[in-house]
Amino acid sequence: MQITMTKRDEIARAIRAGHRALLFAHVMPDGDTIGSVLGLAWGLRQLGLVARVACADPVPAELHFLPGVDEFAPRRPSDEDLIMILDASDLSRIGDLYDQERFAAALLINIDHHVTNTHFADLTWIEPRASTAELILDLLLQLDVRLDADIATCLLTGIVTDTRCFCTANTEPATLRAAIRLMDAGASLAQITDAVFSHRSMDVIRLWGPALCRAVLSDGVLWTEISQEMLRQANATLEASNGLVNFLSTMHEARAAAVFREMGDGTVDVSLRSKPGIDVSGVAFAFGGGGHAQAAGCQVVGELAEVRERIVRALQQEVRASLEAPERIRSVIERL
């Protein structure tokens, strides 16, 4: 009988044979990429590997409570035999830390849950779970790592942030089972939710006020924008706009929501959300980004107004097509 190895088996085997690992979180990091990298790093160290962590961008303040978070730096590979990129669907997601020569010397592993994954690594394990952190939990259990409170806190933070505290449509019984397992191992759900959701700074209030005032609802798409001028006037950093798109997407008539952020380097960061039944990952992918059906994003070169117009139009088309599809099916059935 032939025994087929899953991607997870292959990654577990590579880790068992490995010595030094460099773990990358994606640019503009969120709780899932940071929590997954830290949780895996602690697990690898337990197994005797040297594990270092890297990210091109600073870790947002609400994640500074995570054990080991101070070790993040915009580092490049040196003498590692394993390079692992977590929660990222393509190589551009590690920003300018990619370096062909140094990456070629190591085994490149990618663990991710985005439907738009481009399979760029030597070994890719992708599963459409609610968070990458759940995949890391499965991997650590397979490797017989003892879950301690530090590992559990990092991984539960990944689940809680990507599911907006178990509220997103992709939250499954398996997500809750993983969370229970992590709480049993010592993670405090109350501490995590308090840290990530309840410490907004006053910048946020000053920035969201004007941004909400200029929000526009048009053909089922609710959008707003954050310009460099708005940041100056609110005396706020870009970080203060995190979460705004989630808030917009709670509005009743919004089938899709978008926030356009002028990054100040000639690019616009686009965050997209949608109600179940509308898939925004295709629009993000078409503009060079990626993500999930209900949460996706891209970074586009161009002027704020011009990028916004192109993407709002694409979103409106997506909303229209999704609303028309069941209508078309119904009329075909009626004609039968």
Pairwise CA distance, residues 116 & 31, whole Å: 19
| Options 162, 225, 269, 318; binder of Mn ion; rule CB under 5 A | 162
Q: Which stretch binds Mn ion (CB under 5 A): 47-55, 127-135, 179-187, 328-336?
A: 127-135
The site partner of 296 among ligand AMP, Mn ion, none (C-beta below 5 to 8 Å per kind) is ligand AMP
Output the smallest distance, CB 233 to ligand AMP, in A: 23
* Binder among 11, 12, 32, 83 for Mn ion (CB under 5 A): 32
Residues of the shown chain interacting with ligand AMP in the complex, contacts defined by CB under 6 A: 30, 89, 93, 245, 271, 289-292, 295-299
Kindly tell me which of 30 and 279 has the beta carbon lying closer to ligand AMP.
Answer: 30
Smallest gap, in angstroms, from Cβ of residue 23 to Mn ion? 14
Task: Tell me the residue number closest to ligand AMP, measured at CB.
Answer: 297
Q: Say whether residue 242 binds Mn ion (CB under 5 A).
A: no
Q: How far is the CB of 27 from ligand AMP (least distance, A)?
A: 8
Closer CB to ligand AMP, residue 245 or residue 256? Answer: 245
CB closer to Mn ion, 87 vs 269? 87
CA–CA gap between residue 227 and residue 105 (Å, rounded): 41
Cα distances from 85 to residues 95, 135, 205, in angstroms, run 12, 13, 34
Q: How far is the CB of 207 from ligand AMP (least distance, A)?
A: 16
Q: Distance (Å, rounded) from C-alpha 62 to C-alpha 67? A: 13
Q: Which does 299 bind (CB under 5 to 8 A by kind): Mn ion, ligand AMP, none?
A: ligand AMP
Interacting partner of 18 out of ligand AMP, Mn ion, none (Cβ under 5 to 8 A depending on kind): none
Residue least distant from Mn ion (Cβ): 32
| Contact footprint for Mn ion (CB under 5 A) | 30, 32-33, 87, 132, 162
